[in-house]
Amino acid sequence: MLEEASELIGLQVYTPKGIYLGTVNNLVVDLEDSCVDGLFINETNPLLVESSKSVNVPYRWISSVGDIVLLKYFPKKVSLKKSPKKKKELSEEIESV
């Protein structure tokens, strides 16, 4: 049983299907309510997170915590959003070339 929230740091995190996601690097804390809002995971599994980017896993997605963290939910794949350029910006770029 955990006695301090800081004991979560360093634990391995697994999806509901048992796929390794990464290791808890830091905690996301709600200072107003004095509670942990999420786990910050870096160097994530590239099969789950595009480019192995860091992710914040909401605490409500956690199923159990012990020697590892087991999630009750995680998306099949986390992709980076690329903001589409507006048509006007594209036409300006074309004109400048």
- pLDDT tens digit sequence for 17-69: 999 999 999 999 999 998 889 999 999 999 999 999 999 999 999 999 999 99
pLDDT at 92: 58
| Cα–Cα distances in angstroms (integers) from residue 5 to residues 14, 15, 32, 79, 86, in the given order | 18, 20, 16, 29, 44
What is the longest distance spanned by two Cα atoms in the chain?
64
Mean pLDDT in residue range 65-85: 85
Band (87; pLDDT cuts 50, 70, 90): low
Band (95; pLDDT cuts 50, 70, 90): low
pLDDT at 69: 96
Domains and CATH numbers, the chain: 5-96 (2.30.30.240)
